[in-house]
Amino acid sequence: MTPRFAATAVAHSNIALIKYWGKLPISGNYPAVPSLSLTLDALRTRTRVTFDSQYSQDEFELDGKRVLERPLQRVSSLLDAIRSLASLEYFAKVVSSNNFPTASGLASSASGFAALAVAATHAAGLNLEPAAISSLARACSASSARSIHGGWASLDAGADSANALDSGQNWDVVLIVAVTDPGPKAIGSTQAMIRCADTSPYFAAWVETAPVLFARACGALHHRDLDALGRCMEESTWRMHATMLTAVPAVVYISPITLAIINEIRSRRSASVPAYFTTDAGPHVKVLTMAEHAAAVRSWLTQIPGVTDTIICKPGPAAFVETPVTEGHTA
């Protein structure tokens, strides 16, 4: 028998209402702007990490397929940080599955790196606070820092780790995902945001104005003012996409169906059925409303040609470990 340390963790995806888009011009993957998100119960990644003295390299399997190159390097960089903290020299096998389309703007890297950070730190025998795990995840993919927490979370500009703001259990909001095209995105968000920073004339304005919008959104969340929060979310969405559309070459994640959904929401919402949209690095649209209006809003969405699925998401839990800290541990 060989030394072996394993753990399985589950993390839920999060969608930013106030977007992280752009990095500080220093190493370490620090966000240039503050962001505010909701962790979602219906979208999750489950990841098993096994460190084993017999492995000769890291291996990464996602949804049943072996993954190489850049995604594997990103996984290995997080494992390296954890190996160094734990003084562990073994390579690892990482087996991960998403219950939603990967790399298509549904924040799979957020839940993915959060689940990996939790599983790998536990498998390595580290007993870290959520802030330390959030920091490890952030260094690989900043949005994943927020998925360590359940409910509402924020990540300040330049911050090491995300903040847990509210469990989300006392306010019945839902985010309804209108899935349009589950195909992978043309350009990853990391490259896209670097291109926006380097080439969009609007990027400086985006960074300069983000803190005020973030503060407005946090105030709206504090007062449970859905209308104010939803409007902040839409402003952040359009400003982020403005930097994308004005990058060279332009980064275009929105599709005609994305716009059709947005137009439908704008024309059908009312004081009695409030609904607000956002869209990220992919064509899907996420709609914020109250749980009592979820069925009505879903029926609007399902009637739009090109909407292939709708997923009603409530506030989700913090990332957690499914197995004991170590198992099959035989020296």
Q: Following DSSP, what letter does each residue of 128-195 receive, concatenated?
A: --HHHHHHHHHHH-TTHHHHTSSSEEEE-TT-SS-EEEE-STTS-EEEEEEE---SPPSS-HHHHHHH
How far apart, in whole angstroms, are the C-alpha atoms of residue 289 and residue 313? 11
- From residue 321, alpha-carbon distances to 43, 88, 212 in Å are 17, 20, 36
Between residues 50 and 96, which has the closer beta carbon with respect to ligand DP6? Answer: 96
Q: Is 163 in the site for ligand DP6 (CB under 6 A)?
A: no
Q: Is 243 in the site for ligand DP6 (CB under 6 A)?
A: no
Rule CB under 6 A: choose which of 59, 181, 234, 280 binds ligand DP6. 280
Between residues 86 and 116, which has the closer beta carbon with respect to ligand DP6? Answer: 116
Residues 1-20 binding ligand DP6 (CB under 6 A) are 16, 19-20
Residue 21 β-bridge partners? none
Q: Closest distance between ligand DP6 and the C-beta of residue 102, in Å? A: 12
Q: Closest distance between ligand DP6 and the C-beta of residue 37, in Å? A: 6
Residues 18-77 binding ligand DP6 (CB under 6 A) are 19-21, 29, 35
Between residues 246 and 326, which has the closer beta carbon with respect to ligand DP6? Answer: 246
Contact residues for 239 (Cβ-Cβ < 8 A; gap 6+): 19, 202, 206, 209, 210, 213
Of 136, 104, 97, 131, the C-alpha closest to 120 is 136
Q: Is 143 in the site for ligand DP6 (CB under 6 A)?
A: yes
Between residues 37 and 289, which has the closer beta carbon with respect to ligand DP6? Answer: 37
Residues 81-140 binding ligand DP6 (CB under 6 A) are 107, 109
Query: What are the tokens at 268?
Result: 């059908």
Beta carbons within 10 angstroms of residue 89's beta carbon: 9
Size of the site for ligand DP6 (CB under 6 A): 15
Between residues 76 and 109, which has the closer beta carbon with respect to ligand DP6? Answer: 109
Residues 173-232 binding ligand DP6 (CB under 6 A) are 189-190
Amino acid at 213: L
Residues near ligand DP6, by CB under 6 A: 16, 19-21, 29, 35, 107, 109, 141-143, 189-190, 280-281
